[in-house]
A and B are shown apart, each in its own frame.
Chain A
Amino acid sequence: MSQFLQIVLAGISIGAIYSLAALGFTIVFNATKVTNFANGEFVMMGGLVSASLVVNAHWPAPLAVLVAVVSVAALGIALDKFGLQQARRKTILGYAMITIGFSLLYRGLMQVVAGRDVLFMPNFGVIPDLRVLDVYFSSQSTWILVTLVLVSGGLSFLFLRTRLGKAMRAASQSPRAAALCGIEPARMSALAFAMAAGAGALAGALVAPVGAAFYEYGLSFGLKGFAAAVLGGFGSPVGAVVGGLLIGLLESIAAGYLSSAYKDAVALAILLALLLVWPSGLLGRVEARRV
């Protein structure tokens, strides 16, 4: 039994990372209607930058993580301002291709800047390892879960209770009407990218001690984060969190009881199945299909 609970906990821990990645997709999509194919790279960069700073430059972890989150958020804004806002052809396909281009660009940037080594960062520490009823809560797992709760809580407070959050929601629903009220849609979308990138970078930094950091990991985070967002209902922040936890859980169970070699395929198979059969997911609205 305790083995099962351990597997569940491991699943929820990694699931929390997927949730944060999924939130990145959701925030950007809600603000701009764009599916950001570079979202996984934000997670990767967060992990790689903080790990590099700690391992190679011997910075203290909190500073490294802070710098990582801020710099990746800046890269997120850059994607919006220098990429999407500049697009000559403003079509869904055009935007998708630009974000795909940026995912390559950021991946290449990290390869050049941070090198091609797989980096292992030490645990954050501070929070002790806990043992509750035969279940082992590692320090890093606790960090991850606590961060997810704080970030989710913070974001929902932001969007539901603050003026800024309402301005962002207004700008996403009707950019022109919002502009007439003095809200700049361009600033709101840049802000959305900053938040998505920041959340993703934080996730990357959190998982770096557990899963290592490597410039090729962005694709995996991106696909699984997207799968989580779709599972929970694309566009629903609550769905993103729930979807992430579920994907992590299912992945962990498959790895524990079936085969660890195909572990990565689990999330992908779920994604394909969802897209083909149930694209609205758990909490999403059904898309009306044109003839």
Chain B
Amino acid sequence: MTLSITDYSKRYGGLVAVDKVSLTAPAGAVTALIGPNGAGKTTLLNLISGVVIADSGSCKLLDQVVTGRTPHQLAHLGLTRTYQSPQLFDDMSVLETVMVGAHLRGGAGFVSSMLRIGRTRREEARLEEQALLAIDRVGLPAALLGRPAVDLAYGLQRRVEIARALAMQPRVLLLDEPAAGLNHQETQELAGLIDSLARGGLTVLLVEHDMDMVMGISRHVVVMNFGRKIAEGTPAEVQRNQSVIDAYLGAQAEEGADA
């Protein structure tokens, strides 16, 4: 399902965090969003995922306008995201955590859950199945199923988060710096996973700082700086683009002079 944003803008008081940014992320591919710290990438991600309301601009999933929808509504439409720091639940095992992701796959309400009628029991079994499938998909071994999710190594926690998102069976997945804090091998494994997810038909929007990872698996790269889109294209094109190079290296000196 194609995700397209047109002229999204957001300002906080005097600061323009996102300035008329447009991008399109097609299904079956990884679209990367990169830029120096403070470029507005996370804010843009917050706008797309409904956490923050945009001042202007619009967003569409396939052809449906979803501007201003809440995260809950977006989840129903098949869009979900992960966060920079894993939002894992203190008291829950890996399996239970991923089962939360499968929430929308079930329909039992308070009363039917309390009474635990037959239909609810069968649904529970089904949700557990789907969680196990998602856990398999990200390559987590069965030995970890019962461990508290917060006890795992950072790289594995990231996988749990992705598994949880996958359990929702989303069409669009937003990843917010999933490789942060991972070592080289973990990053490579993660890259492989994300690549295979995209090939499976998922629309992936990846915000990331690790350039090797980004350039290795992305079909299309969008570069932001100071809230604006300054370049976009294939990884090769973007790496050669002078304004991109300036943004990461040279622009700092200019910024110092202007301020």
The answer to whether A and B touch directly, with their CB atoms under 8 angstroms apart, is yes
* B53 at interface by CB-CB < 8 Å: yes
* B51 at interface by CB-CB < 8 Å: yes
Contacts of A290 in B (CB 8 A): 51-52
Give CA–CA (A72, B237) in the complex, Å.
68
- CB-contacts of B68-88 with A (<8 A): 70-71
Give CA–CA (A290, B50) in the complex, Å.
9
* A258 at interface by CB-CB < 8 Å: no
* A180 at interface by CB-CB < 8 Å: no
Residue of B with least CB distance to A290: B51
Contacts of B50 in A (CB 8 A): 291
- CB-contacts of A165-205 with B (<8 A): none
Give CA–CA (A290, B52) in the complex, Å.
7
Q: Per DSSP, are chain B's interface residues mostly helix, strand or loop, or mixed?
A: loop
- CB-contacts of A33-74 with B (<8 A): none
Contacts of A291 in B (CB 8 A): 50-53, 70-71
Give CA–CA (A148, B48) in the complex, Å.
50
Contacts of B53 in A (CB 8 A): 291
Contacts of B51 in A (CB 8 A): 290-291
Chain B, residues 49-67, CB within 8 Å of chain A (1/0): the string is 0111100000000000000
Give CA–CA (A291, B53) in the complex, Å.
8
- CB-contacts of A235-291 with B (<8 A): 290-291
Interface size on B, residues (CB 8 A): 6
- CB-contacts of B163-213 with A (<8 A): none
Chain A nearest Cβ from B46, distance in angstroms: 9
Chain A nearest Cβ from B74, distance in angstroms: 10
Give CA–CA (A290, B71) in the complex, Å.
10
Give CA–CA (A151, B50) in the complex, Å.
46
Contacts of B71 in A (CB 8 A): 291
Residue of B with least CB distance to A291: B70
Chain B, residues 29-51, CB within 8 Å of chain A (1/0): the string is 00000000000000000000011
Chain B nearest Cβ from A120, distance in angstroms: 50
Chain B nearest Cβ from A97, distance in angstroms: 16
Give CA–CA (A167, B52) in the complex, Å.
33
Chain B nearest Cβ from A173, distance in angstroms: 15
Give CA–CA (A291, B48) in the complex, Å.
12
Give CA–CA (A290, B53) in the complex, Å.
8
Give CA–CA (A173, B51) in the complex, Å.
25
Chain A nearest Cβ from B45, distance in angstroms: 14
Give CA–CA (A130, B52) in the complex, Å.
58
Give CA–CA (A290, B51) in the complex, Å.
6
Residue of A with least CB distance to B69: A291
Residue of A with least CB distance to B49: A291
Chain B nearest Cβ from A259, distance in angstroms: 41
Give CA–CA (A42, B41) in the complex, Å.
47
Residue of A with least CB distance to B70: A291
Chain B, residues 142-174, CB within 8 Å of chain A (1/0): the string is 000000000000000000000000000000000
Residue of A with least CB distance to B71: A291
Residue of A with least CB distance to B90: A89
Chain B nearest Cβ from A208, distance in angstroms: 45
Residue of A with least CB distance to B74: A291
Give CA–CA (A291, B52) in the complex, Å.
7
Residue of A with least CB distance to B50: A291
Give CA–CA (A164, B240) in the complex, Å.
53
Chain B nearest Cβ from A234, distance in angstroms: 19
Residue of B with least CB distance to A89: B90
Give CA–CA (A291, B75) in the complex, Å.
13
Give CA–CA (A244, B238) in the complex, Å.
60
Chain B nearest Cβ from A288, distance in angstroms: 9
Contacts of B52 in A (CB 8 A): 290-291
Give CA–CA (A291, B67) in the complex, Å.
13
Give CA–CA (A291, B49) in the complex, Å.
10
Residue of B with least CB distance to A289: B53
Chain B nearest Cβ from A219, distance in angstroms: 32
Chain A nearest Cβ from B85, distance in angstroms: 14
Residue of A with least CB distance to B68: A291
Chain B nearest Cβ from A89, distance in angstroms: 10
Chain B nearest Cβ from A267, distance in angstroms: 33
Give CA–CA (A42, B52) in the complex, Å.
40
Chain A nearest Cβ from B12, distance in angstroms: 9
Give CA–CA (A291, B73) in the complex, Å.
11
Give CA–CA (A290, B72) in the complex, Å.
13
Give CA–CA (A290, B70) in the complex, Å.
10
Chain A nearest Cβ from B76, distance in angstroms: 14
Q: Which 8 A-B pairs have the closest CB atoms?
A: A291-B70, A291-B50, A291-B51, A291-B71, A290-B51, A291-B53, A291-B52, A290-B52
Using A290-B52, A291-B51 as known contacts, list a sample of 6 further A-B pairs with CB atoms less than 8 Å apart, ordered by residue number in A: A290-B51, A291-B50, A291-B52, A291-B53, A291-B70, A291-B71
The chain B residues found within 8 Å of chain A, CB to CB, are: 50-53, 70-71
> What are 8 residue pairs bridging A and B, where the CB atoms are less than 8 Å apart in the complex?
A290-B51, A290-B52, A291-B50, A291-B51, A291-B52, A291-B53, A291-B70, A291-B71
